């Protein structure tokens, strides 16, 4: 595995070694020894799996008191995966990083606590699997409006499908009291 920092240094792109032959392929999607010394932690407490169709945007989600780090991988299809730094006082506050994850490139993206996460499905269907560093707590769930112009994510869907909950989140500037602190 190769772990590469992105433009947001805490967000890490993981490129696995893929073994292919006439039968198909094999890869490790997580290995503590291979990722040792990177920002990716060794311990996760929950795995999630979502299936979405073309043009669906999920996010931008985070938890405030029990923040989740997420290691995101696509088992089927293709997504544009996004991390937004929402840590007040961070030198990269409000900046975002987008990466294509797919069943072709087999990359994973590490999104640490303190970052909002979202993705847009760019294939007919996508199965997204992600490991979390803390348990989901519905009372602690927060979000930043997916289309916040101050963040300016360049989503690939022209007319996305967004959940009613995701459609009414506030922009980053309006959410400052509900954001984690840096450091």
CA–CA separation, 150 and 160 (whole Å): 19
Which residue of the set 61, 62, 73, 117 is catalytic? Answer: 61
CA–CA separation, 33 and 25 (whole Å): 21
Exposed, middle or buried: residue 31 (CB in 10 Å: 0-12, 13-18, 19+)?
middle
**Taking a C-beta distance cutoff of 8 angstroms, is the pair 27, 14 a contact?**
no
Q: Is the backbone of residue 165 left (phi > 0), alpha (psi -120 to 50) or beta?
A: alpha
CA nearest to 107, candidates 99, 98, 118:
99
**Taking a C-beta distance cutoff of 8 angstroms, is the pair 88, 176 a contact?**
yes
Q: Is 61 a catalytic residue?
A: yes
Residues facing 12 on adjacent strands = 5, 110
Which residue of the set 62, 73, 117, 130 is catalytic? Answer: 130
Q: Which residues are catalytic?
A: 61, 130
């Amino acid at each position: 595995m190769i772990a590469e920092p992105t433009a947001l240094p805490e967000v890490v792109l993981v490129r696995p070694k893929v073994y292919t032959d006439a039968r198909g392929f094999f890869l490790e999607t997580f290995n503590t020894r291979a990722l040792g010394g990177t920002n990716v932690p060794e311990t996760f407490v929950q795995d999630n799996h979502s299936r979405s169709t073309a043009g669906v945007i999920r996010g931008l989600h985070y938890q405030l008191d029990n923040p989740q780090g997420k290691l995101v991988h696509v088992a089927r299809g293709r997504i544009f995966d996004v991390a937004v730094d929402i840590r007040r006082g961070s030198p990269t506050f409000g900046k975002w990083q987008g990466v294509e994850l797919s069943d072709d490139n087999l990359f994973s993206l590490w999104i640490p606590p303190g970052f909002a996460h979202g993705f847009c499905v760019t294939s007919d269907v996508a199965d997204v699997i992600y490991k979390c560093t803390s348990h989901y707590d519905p009372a602690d769930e927060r979000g930043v409006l997916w289309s916040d112009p101050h963040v300016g994510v360049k989503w690939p869907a022209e007319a996305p499908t967004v959940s009613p909950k995701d459609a009414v989140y506030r922009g980053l500037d309006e959410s400052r009291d509900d954001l984690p602190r840096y450091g």
